[in-house]
């Protein structure tokens, strides 16, 4: 593999790809000292898929992926292909339930993207949408932090986020943006029905054009001394408030 982005690492991430997309794995390396139950689970999955496991020293794993927490396992895979706007339109028309989407406006930190994917999977989000430029893609770090969610939550990269937001509105999806300056409290906001939760980038928040496309803006109440929360933390709170309301409606 010539590109480090085609390596995934970490027990959860490698197990997820072996369980869901084993055909994409072209190489698998396990630290020879690992003989615990979690490592043996990977060995069993690899054997079931007909994938050879190479037992190597930790230094070889470090040489492949660098100074990261690979937990003694690295896999070489085909790069996960992001979906596009055409796929998204078709996907939305096939949904039986009201769409529940997450839009990230320029999140660049792979740990934040991975954490957002993981929470999106847990909350039942149908797809995550992000711009192609000036934003993080599905790197090895993202897939490790996501703990398998990168293989379950469709990741849609679009070339023009504003155009995609207009498309969502035409599909009847309500765009709800999180903004620290908004007057509307999230806990007093109806988040049921077709919804796209729009979250801003680390530090800078929503871009002006993105904010202007939102149908409503909400804020998280802040009662302490801090002025803002990490984007993945804010996303988790917002998604679970939406999930709480949507489950209550279903009951």
CATH number for the domain that contains residue 33:
3.30.1330.30
Same domain, 31 and 101: no
- Quote the pLDDT of residue 202: 79
CATH number of the CATH domain containing 108? 3.40.1280.10
Q: Looking up tokens 């679009």, which residue turns up?
A: 158
Question: Could you give the CA distance from residue 210 to residue 119 in angstroms, rounded to a whole number?
Answer: 22
Tens-level pLDDT at each residue, the chain (251 residues): 334 447 888 888 888 889 888 888 888 999 998 889 988 999 999 999 999 999 999 999 988 888 788 999 998 887 667 899 999 999 999 999 999 999 999 999 999 999 999 999 999 999 999 999 989 988 888 988 888 888 889 999 999 999 999 999 999 999 999 998 999 999 999 999 999 999 998 778 899 999 999 999 999 998 888 777 899 999 999 999 999 999 886 66
Same domain, 132 and 246: yes
- Quote the pLDDT of residue 238: 97
27: number of Cβ within 10 Å: 16
Question: Last residue of a domain, which of 38, 55, 77?
Answer: 77
Range of the domain at 151: 85-250
**pTM for the full predicted model:** 0.79
The burial of 76, by beta-carbon neighbours within 10 Å (0-12 exposed, 13-18 middle, 19 or more buried), is given as middle
Question: Could you give the CA distance from residue 119 to residue 165 in angstroms, rounded to a whole number?
Answer: 22
Antiparallel, parallel or unpaired: β 127-131 and 155-158: parallel
Same domain, 126 and 213: yes
- Quote the pLDDT of residue 5: 45
Question: Could you give the CA distance from residue 49 to residue 100 in angstroms, rounded to a whole number?
Answer: 34
Same domain, 147 and 242: yes
Same domain, 131 and 221: yes
- Quote the pLDDT of residue 152: 86
Same domain, 213 and 92: yes
Same domain, 186 and 213: yes
Tally of domains in the chain: 2
């Amino acid at each position: 593999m010539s590109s480090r982005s085609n390596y995934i690492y970490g027990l959860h991430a490698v197990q997820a790809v072996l369980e869901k997309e084993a055909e994409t794995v072209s190489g698998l390396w396990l630290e020879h000292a690992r003989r615990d139950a979690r490592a043996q689970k990977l060995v069993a999955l690899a054997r079931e898929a007909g994938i050879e496991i190479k037992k190597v020293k930790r230094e070889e794993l470090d040489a492949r992926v660098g100074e990261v927490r690979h937990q003694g396992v690295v896999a070489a895979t085909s790069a996960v292909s992001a979906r596009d706007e055409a796929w998204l339109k078709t996907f939305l028309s096939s949904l039986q339930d009201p769409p529940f989407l997450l839009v990230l406006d320029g999140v660049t930190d792979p740990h934040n993207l991975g954490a957002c994917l993981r929470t999106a999977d847990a909350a039942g989000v149908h797809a995550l949408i992000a711009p192609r430029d000036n934003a993080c893609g599905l790197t090895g770090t993202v897939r490790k932090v996501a703990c398998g969610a990168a293989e379950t939550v469709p990741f849609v990269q679009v070339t023009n986020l504003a155009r995609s937001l207009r498309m969502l509105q035409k599909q009847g999806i309500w765009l709800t943006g999180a903004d620290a300056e908004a007057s509307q409290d999230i806990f007093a906001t109806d988040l049921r029905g077709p919804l796209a939760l729009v979250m801003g980038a680390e530090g800078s928040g929503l871009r002006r054009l993105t904010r202007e496309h939102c149908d409503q803006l909400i804020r998280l109440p802040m009662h302490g001394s801090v002025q803002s929360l990490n984007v993945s933390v804010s996303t988790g709170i917002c998604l679970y408030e939406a999930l709480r309301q949507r489950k209550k409606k279903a009951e």
